[in-house]
Amino acid sequence: MQRYFLKTTVAATVGTTFTVSGDVVKHWVKVMRAQPGDQAEFVTLTHAVLVAKLVTTDGQTATATVTAVSHPQVELPLPVTIACGLSKGDKPEQIVQRGTELGASAFVFFDSQWAVAKWAANKRERKLARLAKIAQGAAEQSHRTMIPTVSYAANLQRVVADVPYDRGIVAWEESAKRGESGQLVQTLKQMQPGQRLLAIFGPEGGLTPDEVGQLNAAGIVAAGLGPRIMRAETAPLYLLSSVSFWCELV
C-alpha cells in the first residue's frame, strides 16, 4: 500500500476525515490513479500510521476518511545521525536514499580539509531541498514513520557543536589499517535505547589526522569498520547495517 507523510495535524482516530493536496494528490490520484474507495497509508506528525480511503477528489485536493490506525515500531532503537564530508557527483544522493532505507534519523554534510567537492552558497539550499525530497521518497518506500532531516555544516566544529548526541564515533581508515575492530561494538554495548549516536565519515580523501584529533578531543572515538577500506558512500551504510543488526536482530 502506498504511503504518504502528512504535513498538517490529523487526529489518529477511525472515522476522521481530512484533506490532502499538492504532491500527495499528484502522486496518489494522478500517478497511481486512485479512485473513490481506494486506500493508502498516511503518517501523522506524531508518527501514527493511518489507513484511509479516498472519498472525493477534484484533481487538486482529495478528501479521505480514516479506516484504521496503527503505531508500528520500525525506527532504529538508537537514533543515528550520519555526518559526511562533501563528496563528488551523486554520492550524497546515494547516502541519503540508502541511508534512509537503513534507518538514519538525520544527515549532515560538512566541508572538510581534504574534500574536493564544494557546495556553492547560492546553490546550497537547492541541493538540500533535493536531498530532503530524496529522503522523503525513501522513507515512504521503506515504510518508515519519520523522514530524516538533511542539513549542511560549514566544518566539523559546527557538526560537533550543533548536532545533539550521546555518543560519537568517527570512521577512520587508519584505525582499520591498524586492525582496530572493537570500538564500534563497544560503543553500541554502552548505549541504551533512545540514546543518540553521531557517526562521522570523511569524503573521498578521508579526514586529516588533525580533524580526527579534534574529534577525539571532543570525546568522539575513532573506529575501524572491518578490515576492508570502503568508499565514502559505502561506509555510512555499513555502519547503519551494523547498528540495525546489533539493536534489532541480535
pLDDT of residue 144: 98
Query: What single letter denotes the amino acid at residue 175?
Result: S
pLDDT of residue 174: 72
pLDDT of residue 165: 97
pLDDT of residue 176: 60
Q: Quick one: average pLDDT of 141-150? A: 98
| Of 134, 103, 146, 148, nearest in space to 242 by CA | 103
- Could you tell me the domains of the chain? 3-70 (2.40.240.20), 80-249 (3.40.1280.10)
Whether residue 178 is predicted with pLDDT greater than 80 in this model: the reply is no
Q: How far apart are CA 152 and CA 137, in angstroms?
A: 20
Eight-class DSSP state of 178:
T
| 185-243: pLDDT as tens digits | 999 999 999 999 999 999 998 999 999 999 999 999 999 888 888 999 999 999 999 99
Alpha carbon of 170 to those of 192, 198, 203, 230: distances in Å?
A: 19, 8, 12, 14
Q: How far apart are CA 143 and CA 185, in angstroms?
A: 28
pLDDT of residue 177: 60
β-bridge mates for residue 169, sequence order? 199, 221
| 74-119: pLDDT as tens digits | 999 999 999 999 999 999 999 999 999 999 999 999 999 999 899 9
Q: How far apart are CA 54 and CA 17, in angstroms?
A: 10
Q: How far apart are CA 195 and CA 105, in angstroms?
A: 12
pLDDT of residue 173: 76
| Of 40, 51, 53, 45, nearest in space to 3 by CA | 40
β-bridge mates for residue 54, sequence order? 64
Q: Quick one: average pLDDT of 111-130? A: 94
Q: How far apart are CA 21 and CA 124, in angstroms?
A: 27
| 30-73: pLDDT as tens digits | 999 999 999 999 999 999 999 999 999 999 999 999 999 999 99
pLDDT of residue 61: 97
Element (H, E) at 91: helix 91-101
